[in-house]
Chain A
Amino acid sequence: DAKTTQPNSMESNEEEPVHLPCNHSTISGTDYIHWYRQLPSQGPEYVIHGLTSNVNNRMASLAIAEDRKSSTLILHRATLRDAAVYYCILRDTSGTYKYIFGTGTRLKVLA
């Protein structure tokens, strides 16, 4: 199973952009890159996903390296409500369809 590697924790100031990195050097061609976040005492919440091209939505942007071995979740203006654990996940769509969650990055937003 493909694995992802993320920093354990990061800090950001409120209103500033945040770049959350993820390494997935064993990614295969059919793996989608998904990002979820989990706020305290809640279930995970979908943030964004992509395959090869960079993606944008109302919550964030996903920048995928050309070789797809790493990706970066970008929060354009961090708010206190963005404080959560962010998970980078590879989702195999060729057969197993399993979600493999890594340990995630705990993001702290400073007022």
Chain B
Amino acid sequence: KAGVTQTPRYLIKTRGQQVTLSCSPISGHRSVSWYQQTPGQGLQFLFEYFSETQRNKGNFPGRFSGRQFSNSRSEMNVSTLELGDSALYLCASSPRLAGIDEQFFGPGTRLTVL
């Protein structure tokens, strides 16, 4: 079974631009969560989608948004990029809402904002 895939793997943007990251969960998984990882703040939860609905949201500004499609694939969008948005963005999937179930993480997308 294929693992969680994320595209692109690396991305360079400039301040003020917007970016869209994509995540394909493991086949059959209905929950997709997004995380931001930086050296200073560590791993921080962004949001979780289940059956095309956002179920949980972390403490991030409204510039961070996401969506999930009927095939469970998910995208996250960051608008008006700031230097501090440079980070590794990780996507994780699980069969059900990621509470009791383990999450399977993708390799991440490394975003650099110049």
Contact = CB atoms under 8 A, between A and B. Distances in A.
Contacts of B4: 43
Contact of B90 (A34, A44, A98, A104): A44
A96 B90 CA distance: 20
B108 A100 contact: no
Contacts of B72: none
Q: How large is the interface on A (under 10, 10 to 19, 20 to 34, 35 or more residues)?
A: 20 to 34
B25 interface: no
A7 to B, nearest CB: 15
B55 interface: yes
Nearest to B110: A41
B87 interface: no
Contacts of A45: 105
A96 B56 contact: yes
Interface in B36-77: 42-45, 48, 55-56, 58
B48 A97 contact: yes
Interface of B: 4, 33, 35, 42-45, 48, 55-56, 58, 90, 92, 97-100, 102-108
Interface of A: 32, 34, 36, 42-46, 49, 87, 91-93, 96-104
